[in-house]
């Protein structure tokens, strides 16, 4: 687990989730609850969200690279086998992603998929 990278999400979440996210670094239980909540709702500030349409989702990698994504990303996921790991962006997008956040640029760029994998958002905050 990379607490510093996870806490960088504070810059992308809506105000009602900021305090909750800050508790991640101090509590395994709080972090687990936050990650499991990804099944039901995303914590992001709507001003930074670009919801990908079905057709746009086929080019997610290209969209993220165009937004400045790095070669590697950090994953926060309700799927324990990929939670808290860093991997190549291309490999991460090949995983079955549900209830997952890919942190592409800490505090600036993330990708979220909801419970069923049909909710796909690029979350981008300009510097």
Encode pLDDT of 11-48 as tens digits. 998 887 777 777 766 678 878 888 888 888 788 999 99
Residues 6 or more apart from 11 whose CB is under 8 A from it? 107, 108, 125
Average pLDDT over residues 114-125: 87
As a whole number of angstroms, the distance between CA 10 and CA 45 comes to 10
Please report how the helices 15-22 and 28-37 are oriented relative to each other, as an axis angle in degrees rounded to 10.
140
Maximal CA-CA distance, the chain:
40
Tokens of 13: 């979440």
Residues 77-108: tens digit of each pLDDT: 999 999 999 999 999 999 988 899 999 999 99
Residues 6 or more apart from 96 whose CB is under 8 A from it? 79, 117
Which is higher by pLDDT, 22 or 10? 10
Which is higher by pLDDT, 61 or 24? 61
Distances (CA, A) of 120 to 1, 48, 55, 58, 98: 23, 13, 11, 11, 9
Which residues, in sequence order, are bridge partners of residue 111? 102, 122
* Domain range enclosing 39: 3-124
Helix (H) or strand (E) holding 124: strand 120-124
Number of domains within the chain: 1
């Amino acid at each position: 687990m990379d607490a510093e990278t996870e806490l960088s999400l504070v810059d992308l979440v809506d105000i009602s989730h900021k305090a909750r996210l800050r508790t991640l670094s101090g509590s395994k239980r709080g972090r687990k609850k936050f990650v499991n909540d990804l099944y039901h709702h995303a914590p992001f500030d709507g001003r930074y969200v670009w919801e990908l349409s079905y057709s746009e989702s086929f080019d997610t990698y290209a969209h993220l690279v165009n937004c400045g994504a790095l070669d590697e990303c950090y994953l926060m996921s309700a799927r324990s086998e990929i939670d808290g790991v860093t991997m190549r962006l291309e490999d991460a997008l090949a995983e079955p992603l549900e209830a997952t956040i890919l942190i592409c640029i800490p505090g600036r760029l993330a990708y979220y998929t909801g419970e069923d994998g049909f909710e796909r958002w690029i979350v981008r905050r300009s510097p």
